[in-house]
Amino acid sequence: MDDNINLSRRELLPFLAGISLLTQPAAAAIITGQSDSLVAYHSRSGNTRVIAGILQRALQADLHEILPQTPYPADYLQMVEQASDERKNGFNPPLLHDLAEIKRYKTIYLGYPIWGMSLPAIVRSFLTRHDFSGITIVPFITHGGYGIGDSLAVLEKSAPAAHLLAPFIMQADQERQTMEKTLDWLVAAR
């Protein structure tokens, strides 16, 4: 993991004009069949989705949203509990969509949020379901302020034949901050 992929602000700025569109739920996939790069991601609150959209546009790559067959709960605390149970039990939820022709991609930009200091189980499902031999994976990771935990080790274990590059990591803790500030306000208001 010694290689870095860096895009300058100048290279990314033209793509930011349409960013509000990227925060809306995306189609499951934009597969053109013309790109040898794929941006595959899972996003709960939209932070990782925004980065995926920027990368997809900048790279003119194909796009795939990693979704479970059964959606995660909309309630944040219920989702955290379910994600914790999946991690503890080693459960890999079934995917809503598979990528039959993943081997045609040379590079996959893999985006995910940190859940419980680790890789989300749904992303682990995606990794263990496909053969990544000969494919370069470039992770882009969002986290709520506690870092990336063991997610890279889990990624390496789940896709052992892939060539991993250094990740892009961004703190994106709006959901946690919103919950904490609201609860603090509620306690103070009583």
- Average pLDDT for 27-45: 83
- Dist. CA 1–CA 167, nearest whole Å: 8
pLDDT > 90? residue 184: no
pLDDT, averaged across the chain: 84
Q: Is 127:93 a contact under the CB 8 Å cutoff?
A: no
Q: Which helix (H) or strand (E) holds 29?
A: strand 29-30
First to last CA, the chain: 51
pLDDT digits 0-9 by tens, 102-131: 999 999 999 999 999 999 999 999 999 999
Asked if residue 172 has pLDDT above 80, the reply is: yes
Tokens (6 digits) for 71 = 């959606």
Name 137's bridge partners.
108, 164
Tell me what pLDDT residue 122 has: 97
pTM for the model: 0.80
pLDDT value, residue 150: 97
Pick the CATH number of 9-189 from 3.40.50.360, 3.40.640.10, 3.50.50.60, 3.20.20.330: 3.40.50.360
pLDDT of residue 15: 43
